[in-house]
Chains A and B, each alone.
Chain A
Amino acid sequence: MSIFTSPTAEDVNGSTLKIQSGHNVLARQPNGDVRSIKIDRDSSNSPSSTVAVGRLGSFHANELIGHPYGFSYEMVNKQLKVLPVRTLEEVEDTDATNELINDGEFVQPLTLEEIQTLKQSGVHASEIIKKQIEQHANYSLKTEYSKDKYKKRKEAKYSKSFTTIEPTIYNVCNYWFNKDQNRIRDIRPDTLSQILTMANIQPGGRYLAVDDASGLVVAAILERLGGSGMLLTICDTDSPPAYPVVANMNFPPDMVQSVLISLNWANSEQDYVSVHAPVEVPVDEIRSDRQKTRLRKRKAAYDLLENTREELFGGEFEALVVASQYEPSGIIDRLVPYLAGSASIVAHSPHSQPLVDLQNKLRNTPGFLGPSLTEGWLRQYQVLPGRTHPTMNTSGSGGYILHAIKVYDDPTANSVIIPRSQKTKMSIDCGAVHSAAATPTLLSSS
Chain B
Amino acid sequence: MWSKARNILAGDTVILWLTRDALQPLIIEPGKEFNSKFGSYRHSDLVGIPFGSKVGSRTGKGFIHVLRPTPELWTMALPHRTQILYLADIAFITSHLNIKGGSHVVEAGTGSGSFSHSVMRSIGSSGHLWSYEFHETRANKARQEFLRHGLSDRVTLSHRNVCKDGFTVIDTADALFLDLPAPWDAIEHAKKALRKDRIARICCFSPCMEQVLRTVSALNDAGFTDITMYETLLRPYDIQQTPALPTIADLSHKLKQSELRREEKRLKQIASGHRGGSEDENNGKLKLPRVSASGAGYESSSSLSFGEKRKREGAEGENEEMLSGEPVGGKRAKTEEEDVVVVAEDTQSSTPGDVPMTDVPLSLKVERSSGEEKSEMPSLVQPMKINLSKVMPEVRGHTSYLTFACLLPPLPTEVTNESSEKASIE
Binding site for B on A (CB under 8 A): 2-6, 8-9, 11-13, 16-18, 41-42, 62-71, 79-82, 84-88, 166, 168-170, 189-190, 192-194, 196-198, 200-204, 223-228, 316, 340-344, 352, 356-357, 359-360, 363, 369-370, 372-381, 383, 385, 388, 400, 405-410, 412-416, 428, 431, 434-435, 437-439, 441-443, 445-446
Contact A69 B381 (CB under 8 A): no
What is the count of residue pairs linking A and B with beta-carbon distances less than 8 angstroms? 329
B314 and A438 within 8 A (CB) = yes
- In the complex the two chains form, is B68's CB within 8 Å of A342's CB? yes
Which residue numbers of B lie inside 8 Å of A, CB to CB? 1, 6, 17, 20, 37-39, 50-57, 60-63, 65, 67-68, 70-72, 87-88, 90-92, 94-96, 98, 100-102, 104, 118, 121-127, 172, 195-199, 209, 212-213, 216-217, 220, 223, 225, 227-237, 239, 241, 243, 311, 314-317, 323, 329, 332-333, 336, 377-378, 381-383, 385, 387-389, 391, 401, 403, 406, 408-413, 415-416, 418-420, 422-423, 426
Task: Give the CA-CA distance A360 to B237 in the complex, in Å.
Answer: 12
CB distance from A18 to the nearest CB of B (A): 7
Least Cβ distance of B125 to chain A in Å?
7
Bound Cα distance A79, B416 (Å):
8
Given the complex, which residues of A lie within 8 Å of B409, measured CB to CB?
Answer: 3, 68, 70
- Interface residue from A192, A226, A377, A388 paired with B212 (Cβ < 8 Å): A388
**Bound-state Cα–Cα, A63 to B417, Å:** 9
Can you show 22 pairs from A to B with CB atoms below 8 A apart? A3-B409, A13-B101, A42-B423, A66-B419, A66-B422, A189-B95, A190-B91, A198-B87, A200-B121, A203-B102, A203-B126, A356-B388, A359-B237, A369-B65, A378-B230, A383-B216, A410-B63, A413-B54, A415-B62, A415-B63, A416-B38, A439-B378
B195 touches A356 (CB 8 A): no
Pick the contact of A82: B55, B411, B426 (CB < 8 A): B411
Contact of B94 among A87, A193, A374, A376 (CB under 8 A): A193
Partner of A375, one of B124, B234, B243: B234
Given A376-B233, A410-B56, A413-B54, 4 other A-B residues pairs in contact with their CB atoms under 8 A: A3-B410, A376-B88, A416-B37, A442-B314
Contact B216 A65 (CB under 8 A): no
Are A194 and B91 also in contact (CB < 8 A) when A226-B126, A446-B336 are? yes
A171 to chain B minimum Cβ distance, whole angstroms, is 8
Cα A166 to Cα B198 in complex, Å, equals 10
Q: Let me know if B72 and A405 touch, CB within 8 A.
A: no
Contact A18:B198 (CB < 8 A) given known A9-B172, A169-B95, A342-B67: yes
Q: Are B53 and A341 in contact (CB under 8 A)?
A: yes
- Are B412 and A67 interface neighbours, CB within 8 A? yes
When distances are taken between beta carbons in the complex, the residues of chain B under 8 Å from A388 are 209, 212-213, 216, 229
A20 to B121, CA, bound (A): 30
* Chain A residues with CB below 8 A from B55, complex form: 410, 413
